[in-house]
């Protein structure tokens, strides 16, 4: 139940222990950071063929591959990486790391603190900038001075954009998908409501719950709320309508129950609260003179794309970034809403292939 913890099967993960201390922007200190990551392909001698793939909120380093020991689910972007795929492993060395604050092998709230108990609510706040600093340390350790491309959608798009703004000389090309340059009131409102659902679960215990008894009810409600923003009203209507199952539940409620239960088996509630707060604080222009000034720092060849039915990260958010970077917005047609960026693999792959083709 919950996320990956030390002692669980490693699966395809590799681990890097970064020397501490690590000091997040907003205060606190971590004595050290362990990063869990996976790779595909072979790096060039200078690491110039390396591509960084950034996962979204409940993703992890397992971008492609089957489920198995250590991996509760199969790859979240299957079909994108491999020989002949958009991220051709005969050409590219692909890296994906679990994010700082996550629960799939990288240091986060469920990780062991210096007192040998889990960090829990004592884990310091982290920003997207903090997460990218950890990824930069991983890149240094892997001998990667400059990414051939940084690819990310949703929360992953935030880190991809932060890379291109904070360290423009280390990003040759940028694939920014289904995300925005700054959190909106709608996103913050939705995510704080999800956090409230988790905190209202008596098992939350102020964030100090044991792994054996996590706040699964609150996390399940949070996931139900989130999943409604990930899909479009059209798709839900076409798929479920007002159908009632033999057990008396609306079909759409049964569908949401399934996703709530599925997430509770593989994700930590503390990470969910921490990472949604990281997303709430996202603003690429903070401390940089505003969004336009920040985006003027980008030197990477950029592709900006969005999903036409996305109600969580609507197209106007990607249009703002595309206009600032001076590139056309690429629109992916999909009935699936925000999740279209994960489901429409062929369309995403075609755009990515075009960006990476000389």
**Which residue do the tokens 């050409």 mark?**
91
Domain boundary pick from 255, 279, 303:
279
pLDDT given for residue 358 in this prediction? 78
Domain for residue 3, yes or no? Answer: no
Question: What sign results for the dihedral spanned by CA atoms 28, 30, 36, 41?
Answer: positive
In this structure, the answer to whether residues 275 and 288 fall within a common structural domain is no
pLDDT of res. 283: 98
pLDDT tops 90 at residue 296: yes
Under the banding of pLDDT at 50, 70 and 90, the label for residue 168 is very high
In this prediction, residues 290-306 reach a mean pLDDT of 98
Q: What is the mean pLDDT of the chain?
A: 97
Output the pLDDT for position 20: 86
pLDDT computed for residue 146 by the predictor: 97
Domain span including residue 41: 14-184+283-356
Domain assignment present for residue 66? The answer is yes
Pair 115, 238 in one domain: no
Asked if pLDDT for residue 287 goes beyond 90, the answer is yes
Domain boundary among 234, 251, 279: 279
62 and 112 assigned to the same domain:
yes
User: What mean pLDDT do residues 159-164 have?
Assistant: 98
Closest CA to 162 of 51, 282, 27, 264: 282
Count of domains for the chain: 2
63 and 123, same domain (yes or no): yes
Say which CATH number the domain at 19 has.
Answer: 3.40.50.1820
Q: Tell me, yes or no, whether 144 and 32 share the same domain.
A: yes
Specify whether 251 is located in the same domain as 296.
no
Same domain assignment for residues 175 and 47: yes
Q: Give the DSSP letter string of 213-280.
A: S--HHHHHHHHHHHHHHHS-HHHHHHHTTT-B-TTSSBHHHHHHHHHHHHHHTT--HHHHHHHHHHHH
pLDDT at position 1, please?
A: 67
Cα–Cα distance measured from residue 347 to residue 341, given in angstroms and rounded to the nearest whole number: 9
Residue closest to 54 by CA, chosen among 144, 149, 142: 149
For the annotated catalytic residues, the residue numbers are 154, 310, 338
pLDDT: which is higher, 236 or 211: 236
113 within 8 A of 5, measured Cβ to Cβ: no
Query: What letter would DSSP give residue 182?
Result: B
- Please indicate, yes or no, if residue 1 is contained in any of the structural domains: no
Sign of CA dihedral 312, 316, 321, 327: positive
**In the prediction, which pLDDT does 45 show?**
87
Q: What is the CATH number of the domain that holds 265?
A: 1.10.1740.110
Domain's final residue, options 257, 279, 301? 279
What is the model's pLDDT at position 47?
87
Establish if 300 belongs to a structural domain. yes
Which residue, 38, 73, 34, is CA-closest to 53?
38
Could you give phi then psi for residue 127, rounded to 5 degrees? Answer: -105, 170
Mean pLDDT of 282-298: 98
What pLDDT does residue 321 have? 98
The whole-number average pLDDT for the span 35-45 is: 96
| Whether residue 215 is found in the same domain as residue 343 | no
Q: Classify residue 49: in a domain, yes or no.
A: yes
210 and 326 belong to one structural domain: no
pLDDT at 134: 98
CA distance 33 to 111: 10
Q: Give yes or no for residue 76 having a pLDDT over 90.
A: yes
Average pLDDT, stretch 252-270? Answer: 97
Peptide bond into 128 cis (omega under 30): no
- pLDDT tens track for 54-71: 999 999 999 999 999 999
């Amino acid at each position: 139940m919950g996320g990956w913890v030390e002692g669980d099967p490693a699966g395809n993960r590799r681990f890097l222990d970064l020397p501490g201390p690590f000091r997040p922007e907003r205060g606190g200190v971590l004595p050290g950071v362990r990063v869990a990551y996976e790779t595909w392909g072979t790096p060039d001698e200078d690491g110039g063929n390396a591509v960084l793939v950034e996962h979204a909120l409940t993703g992890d380093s397992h971008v492609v591959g089957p489920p198995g020991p250590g991996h509760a689910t199969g790859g979240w972007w299957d079909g994108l990486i491999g020989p002949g795929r958009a991220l051709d492993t005969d050409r590219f060395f692909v890296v994906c790391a679990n994010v700082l604050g996550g629960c799939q092998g990288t240091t986060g709230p469920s990780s062991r603190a210096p007192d040998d108990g889990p960090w829990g609510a004592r884990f310091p706040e982290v920003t997207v900038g903090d997460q990218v600093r950890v990824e930069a340390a991983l890149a240094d350790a892997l001998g990667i001075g400059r990414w051939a491309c940084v690819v990310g959608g949703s929360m992953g798009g935030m880190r991809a954009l932060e890379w291109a703004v904070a360290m423009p000389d280390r990003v040759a090309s940028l694939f920014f998908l289904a995300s925005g340059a700054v959190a909106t009131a709608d996103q913050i409102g939705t995510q704080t409501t999800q956090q409230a659902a988790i905190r209202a679960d008596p098992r939350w215990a102020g964030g100090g719950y044991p792994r054996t008894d996590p706040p699964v009810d609150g996390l399940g409600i949070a996931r139900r709320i989130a999943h409604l923003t990930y899909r479009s009203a059209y798709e839900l209507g076409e798929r479920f309508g007002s159908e009632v199952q033999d057990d008396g539940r609306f079909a759409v409620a049964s569908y949401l129950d399934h996703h709530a239960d599925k997430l509770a088996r593989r994700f930590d509630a503390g990470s969910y609260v921490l990472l949604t707060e990281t997303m709430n604080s996202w603003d690429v222009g903070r401390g940089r003179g505003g969004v336009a000034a920040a985006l003027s720092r980008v030197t990477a060849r950029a592709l900006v794309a969005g999903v036409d039915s996305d109600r969580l990260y609507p197209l106007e958010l990607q249009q703002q970034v595309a206009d600032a970077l001076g590139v056309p917005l690429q629109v992916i047609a999909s009935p699936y809403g925000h999740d279209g960026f994960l489901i429409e693999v062929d369309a995403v792959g075609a755009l990515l292939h075009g960006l990476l083709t000389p």
